[in-house]
């Protein structure tokens, strides 16, 4: 499928792997794809993100939000709220675990030591983003999968990246409007 990617989409995949390595994750996750998208310049996704105001300080805010979600073990605020409804204080649990075992110990996909794989595998969520990107490209009759398809896929998949993007004014409908001039009424599966 990689041959169907534009050069910008390929750069996002490579950048996601690099972000995964820098954060010490064993796998490439959805948040790494988002960080790699934020790194892009002069691409369709970077145009959409800039048009929606996601530059400079707001980009740093996205990075802080992703870091905070990693500290929570990759749980979204909705997950934390659901636990709170059951009487479970997630921030208290995170604090106690980090106090005993070190900051960031709950981060998903964290290296646990041992030999490192030659190629980093994509976590299920990141694979889902790539698959959804393909479906979105096909639904729009686009011949190739571009970084804009990754951005669109991240906005519709439930989880931390979609939550963080929405908190910063980047939703599926807004990205569709910027890229294609429509309201994005048809979401590809």
**pLDDT mean across residues, the chain:** 85
87: left (phi over 0), alpha (psi -120 to 50) or beta: left
Tokens 């802080």, residue? Answer: 64
pLDDT at 17: 96
Residue 169 has pLDDT above 70, yes or no: yes
8 Å CB contact between 10 and 42: no
What's the CATH superfamily of 2-75+120-179?
Answer: Clp, N-terminal domain (1.10.1780.10)
- Please count the other Cβ atoms lying within 10 Å of the Cβ belonging to residue 115: 5
Q: Model confidence over 70-102: pLDDT tens digits?
A: 777 777 677 777 767 877 776 667 666 667 776
Tokens 């490579």, residue? Answer: 14
**Cα–Cα distance measured from residue 178 to residue 166, given in angstroms and rounded to the nearest whole number:** 15
Structural domain boundaries in the chain = 2-75+120-179
Q: Model confidence over 111-147: pLDDT tens digits?
A: 444 444 457 899 999 999 999 999 999 999 999 999 9
């Amino acid at each position: 499928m990689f041959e169907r990617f534009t050069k910008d989409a390929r750069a996002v995949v490579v950048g996601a792997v690099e972000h995964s390595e820098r954060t010490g994750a064993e796998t490439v996750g959805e948040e790494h794809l988002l960080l790699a998208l934020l790194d892009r310049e002069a691409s369709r996704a970077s145009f959409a993100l800039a048009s929606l105001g996601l530059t400079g300080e707001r980009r740093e805010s996205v990075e802080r939000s992703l870091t905070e979600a990693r500290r929570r073990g990759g749980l979204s605020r909705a997950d934390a709220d659901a636990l709170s409804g059951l009487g479970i204080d997630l921030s208290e649990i995170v604090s106690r675990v980090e106090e005993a075992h070190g900051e960031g110990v709950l981060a998903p996909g964290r290296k646990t030591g041992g030999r490192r794989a030659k190629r980093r595998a994509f976590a299920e969520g990141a694979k889902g983003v790539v698959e959804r990107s393909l479906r979105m490209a096909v639904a729009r009759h686009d011949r190739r999968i571009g970084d804009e398809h990754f951005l669109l896929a991240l906005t519709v998949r439930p989880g931390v990246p979609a939550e963080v993007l929405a908190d910063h004014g980047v939703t599926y409908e807004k990205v569709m409007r910027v890229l294609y001039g429509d309201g994005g009424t048809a979401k590809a599966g």
